[in-house]
Amino acid sequence: MRFSLFIQDSPDAGAAVASALGFATAALAAGHVLRQVFFHGDGVRCARAGADADDDLRALFVLARQHGVPLLACSTWLQRLGVVADGAVQAGSLGQWCDALDEVDRVVSFRA
């Protein structure tokens, strides 16, 4: 099965990132595919975490890199919140999110 993950909360707002990491780890271990992780709303704050990322966010970045999973943050929300993406996460559009939806079986959304 192919999944896209949609994270809507900032890394310090709750358990959204931890839940996404747990899901991604289990899905990949079971042989499923992650098409992308898309950060939207306050979730785009994950894009600037960089060296300050908590363990769960850092682990999600590493897992994505190991499996070639794109990490995208909504460019409109990046601009609205004044967040500058910091390396691991690239600016993306809702158009890219929608294009990916044609290639997945399920979307899993994370919000605390």
Domain span including residue 59: 2-110
What confidence tier does 39 reach under pLDDT thresholds 50, 70, 90?
A: very high
Whose structure tokens read 């682990």?
59
12 touches 112 (CB < 8 A): no
Count of structural domains, the chain: 1
Task: Read off the CATH number of the domain in which 68 is found.
Answer: 3.40.1260.10
Confidence grade of residue 25 (pLDDT, cut at 50, 70, 90): very high
3-state secondary structure of 27: helix
Write down the pLDDT at residue 50.
Answer: 63
pLDDT band of residue 40 (cuts 50, 70, 90) is very high
